[in-house]
A and B are shown apart, each in its own frame.
Chain A
Amino acid sequence: MQLEQDELLQVYFFMRLTRALEDRTRTLFLQGRVVGGVYTAQGHEATSVGAAMTLRPDDFIVPQHRDLGMHLVRGTTPRAIMGQWLARGNSPSLGRDGQLHIGDVHHGVIPSISMLGESLPVACGIGLTMKMRKRSTIVLAPCGDGATSTGPFHEALNFAAVQKLPIVFLVENNGYAYSTPNEKEFSLQNLSDRALAYGITGESVDGNDVLAVMETVGRAVAHVREGKGPALVESKTFRVRGHSEADRADYVPQALREAWLAKDPIQHFETYLSEQGILDASQKKAVEARVKAAIDDAVSFNEHSPAPDEATVADYLFAPDGLIAIIGEAGADDPSYVNALDRRTGQPYTSAQQVEEAVTRR
């Protein structure tokens, strides 16, 4: 796969942004400015960014809690992410929910919940709609190794296979479901072998090698887009930190963690880019400055944003009456449709924006 230099630099930027945004979130948590549970995904950047880079602008993602990179590539803004963590009244969930549990159907992003695995049947509904409406778009539906043990994982893959739905299921196998290691989760060498059971195509890839991820997921995307039914990709990676920031992850053998740290996806890609003469010191500095500026802006914007209005605590339960647009079809953004705007506020949805650089030319 031949990628142009600026696309490679884009990939690098999103990987750096993902890591840095999580680092800043952790700092805010340690300072007591972010409350509750904080879940990060150091080590996943090649998988989440690389997989999302293979999509077209009109495709959909159904990201989970370790998919910040996927969100950012698809246009979820650092401001929206930080608003969630800081529980701002103008965050996408209006302070109702935290984490990465946000989405915007107009930008192809479906919000997740904490019951892992349950987003996969929802991804089937997105794919089913694409099939019914005869579109060439596809869905990228990631989950962790933990979620592969749930019933909805099986139901979704089986249903998608039977219906030949346009979905790439991406298992981000990071070695542990919280503290439970792979060998206590399943008795397979490769989770992609599960594809056999559903009669679909399956492949495993080194999840710390962003170019390999893009190539493998890209192959799955092409297969699915041709109408051949769903595909399963296992991306083998490692969760360097704990399940949450409350978890020291001392159940992980030190040697194992060190072995994976030596395969850090960002470091790995950076070395590659340098060796290829694509990234020099000044370009690296420029990327770092862009990343820092984006995060500073996100934090500053949200620190100047209001807390949720307590008087609204019982509000927003039901959507109003009126016509609903079918998302992705002509005129769906006509404000007369109930789902063209966020009717809780009467304003456009705020989690994503069309970022030119966030979409590839595929």
Chain B
Amino acid sequence: MNTIVETKVTYLEAISQAMREEMRRDEAVFLIGEDVGTYGGAFKVSAGLQAEFGPERVIDAPMSEAAIIGSAVGAAMMGMRPIAEMQFIDFITCGFDQIVNMASKMYWRSGIPLPLVIRGPSGGGTHGGPFHSVSPEAWFFHVPGIKIVAPATAYDAKGLLKAAIRDNNPVLYLEHKYLYRLPELRETLPEGDYIVPIGQALVRREGEDMTILTYGAMVHQCLKAAQALEEADDLSVEVVDLRSLAPLDRQTIIASVKRTNKVLIVHEDTLTGGIGAELAAVLAQDVFEYLDGPITRVAAPDVPFPYAPSLEEAYLPNADKILAAARVLAAY
């Protein structure tokens, strides 16, 4: 009987592979979180890791985010490379102080490096309601001393997590749970070791008439909108996947907008004070003379994340909403 070997992996499997390979490569790497060990994680991201590495390197912690993140901070000071998992990234608020006061300022004030990763499922589209759908990036984007990455593909999910684990600073790794098992994101990954460097955006689709700046799950909605705009409106739209939010790849962002002269910023997080606000400020200052239309943002409205499917659909940006905003911008 022949067995079909599936070589394409999901976004979730890519995250899992990154952890497994890094734990094999470096004994300083360990995972700590709620239900990550015996159970394999609420989403099974760490399935099989405890069996391979044992309960001392895949640590089932009590429901104590401050203890999980704080322990990771302490271990990182000792030169370990902990990965602290938030079961849902929403719960990161319970460990907020450890991140914004303890971790982010440590190297700056003491010279002690903190090779720490905090990761967890973020974002909506999975009917999680107001406490299981958050996009937390803006809370931490404002805090100096934390790097933030948000992969959109399986390739980047693996490469960025490896880069985050090898980084000597606190990295917030935001995996999007809507993408975890999305069939169309399955891809064949390189056999050898690779990383995706933190701080480098990627042009996912080249275009002439407009730049869309986005990240995370919205990358795919933007690509759909760009395709539709090409087919229906004969518009050539460039889509830039930021991949890293902190530090931002200003060079790639600015170069793209200078070329296309119009920019649409799309994120799933709420509008006010989001990543888009900073992008708009950077562009208004640095490429003002190149702009042929208003810097435009598409984001969730400034209310908490709703539960009902109809409300969730109304809340989240999608290809149609992006398309509509792009058409208004294109008309300038």
Which of A3-11, A122-130, A187-195, A207-215 interfaces with chain B?
A122-130
Tell whether, in the assembled complex, residue A126 and residue B75 are in contact, meaning their CB atoms are under 8 Å apart. Answer: yes
| Closest Cβ–Cβ distance, residue A214 to chain B (whole Å) | 26
Tell whether, in the assembled complex, residue B28 and residue A121 are in contact, meaning their CB atoms are under 8 Å apart. Answer: no
| Closest Cβ–Cβ distance, residue A314 to chain B (whole Å) | 9
Tell whether, in the assembled complex, residue B64 and residue A158 are in contact, meaning their CB atoms are under 8 Å apart. Answer: yes
Query: CA separation between A26 and B201, bound complex, in Å?
Result: 52
Tell whether, in the assembled complex, residue A131 and residue B56 are in contact, meaning their CB atoms are under 8 Å apart. Answer: yes
Tell whether, in the assembled complex, residue A324 and residue B168 are in contact, meaning their CB atoms are under 8 Å apart. Answer: yes
B301 within 8 A of A: no
8 Å CB contact of A159 from B62, B79, B102, B113? B62
Q: What 0/1 pattern do residues 78 to 107 of B give for CB contact below 8 A with A?
A: 111110000000000000011001100111
**Residues of chain B from 119 to 173 with CB closer than 8 A to chain A in the complex:** 144-145, 147, 166-169
Tell whether, in the assembled complex, residue B78 and residue A121 are in contact, meaning their CB atoms are under 8 Å apart. Answer: no
Tell whether, in the assembled complex, residue B102 and residue A122 are in contact, meaning their CB atoms are under 8 Å apart. Answer: yes
Can you name the residue of chain B whose Cβ is closest to the Cβ of A342?
B111
8 Å CB contact of B74 from A92, A126, A162, A321? A126
Query: CA separation between A327 and B81, bound complex, in Å?
Result: 12
**Residues of chain A from 318 to 346 with CB closer than 8 A to chain B in the complex:** 318-322, 324-328, 332, 338-339, 342-345
8 Å CB contact of A122 from B73, B145, B166? B73
Q: How large is the interface on A (under 10, 10 to 19, 20 to 34, 35 or more residues)?
A: 35 or more
Tell whether, in the assembled complex, residue A121 and residue B67 are in contact, meaning their CB atoms are under 8 Å apart. Answer: yes
From known contacts A121-B71, A339-B112, A345-B111, infer whether A129 and B64 are also in contact, taking CB-CB under 8 Å.
no
Query: CA separation between A28 and B71, bound complex, in Å?
Result: 37
Which of A44-52, A102-110, A241-249, A268-276 interfaces with chain B?
A102-110
B115 within 8 A of A: yes
Question: A152 to chain B: which residues have CB within 8 Å?
Answer: 66-67, 70, 97
8 Å CB contact of A132 from B66, B72, B80? B80
Q: Which residues of A contact B (CB under 8 A)?
A: 92-94, 96-97, 101-103, 105, 110-111, 113-115, 118, 120-129, 131-132, 151-152, 155-156, 158-159, 162-163, 316-322, 324-328, 332, 338-339, 342-345, 349
Q: Which residues of B contact A (CB under 8 A)?
A: 28, 30, 56-57, 59, 61-62, 64, 66-67, 69-82, 97-98, 101-102, 105-115, 144-145, 147, 166-169
A-B contact pairs, 30 of them (CB 8 A): A97-B105, A101-B109, A103-B110, A110-B77, A111-B112, A113-B101, A113-B102, A114-B101, A115-B101, A121-B69, A121-B70, A121-B73, A122-B77, A124-B70, A125-B73, A125-B82, A132-B56, A158-B64, A158-B67, A159-B71, A163-B59, A317-B107, A317-B108, A317-B145, A320-B168, A321-B168, A327-B78, A338-B168, A343-B111, A345-B111
